[in-house]
Amino acid sequence: MRIDVLTLFPAMVETVLDTSIPGRAARGGYVSYHAHDIRSWADNPHGKVDDRPFGGGPGMVMTCQPLYDAVNAVEALDPTPARRVLLTPQGEPLHQARVEALAEEPRLLLIAGHYEGIDERVIDELEPLEISVGDFVVSGGELPALLLIDAIVRLRPGVLGHEDSAAQDSFSARPAPDDKHADHAAGQRRLLDCPHYTRPRTWRSRSVPPVLISGDHAAVARWRNKQMLERTRARRPDLLGEVRDP
Query: What's the rounded Cα separation, in Å, for the pair 224 and 236?
Result: 17
> Is residue 154 flagged as an active site residue?
yes
Q: Identify residue 176 by its one-letter amino acid code.
A: A
> Is residue 116 flagged as an active site residue?
yes
Cβ-in-10-Å burial (0-12, 13-18, 19+) of 31 comes to buried
Active-site position among 169, 190, 231, 233: 169
> Is residue 209 flagged as an active site residue?
no
State the CB neighbour count (10 A cutoff) for residue 242: 11
| 227 DSSP assignment | H
Q: Is 150:110 a contact under the CB 8 Å cutoff?
A: no
Active-site position among 69, 78, 116, 164: 116
User: How many Å separate Cα 156 from the centre of its chain?
Assistant: 12
Query: What's the rounded Cα separation, in Å, for the pair 90 and 130?
Result: 7
Q: Is 214:206 a contact under the CB 8 Å cutoff?
A: no
How does strand 50-51 pair with strand 61-62?
A: antiparallel
Q: Identify residue 37 by its one-letter amino acid code.
A: D
Query: What's the rounded Cα separation, in Å, for the pair 209 and 189?
Result: 25
Active-site position among 22, 84, 154, 179: 154
Q: Which residues are catalytic?
A: 89, 116, 154, 169
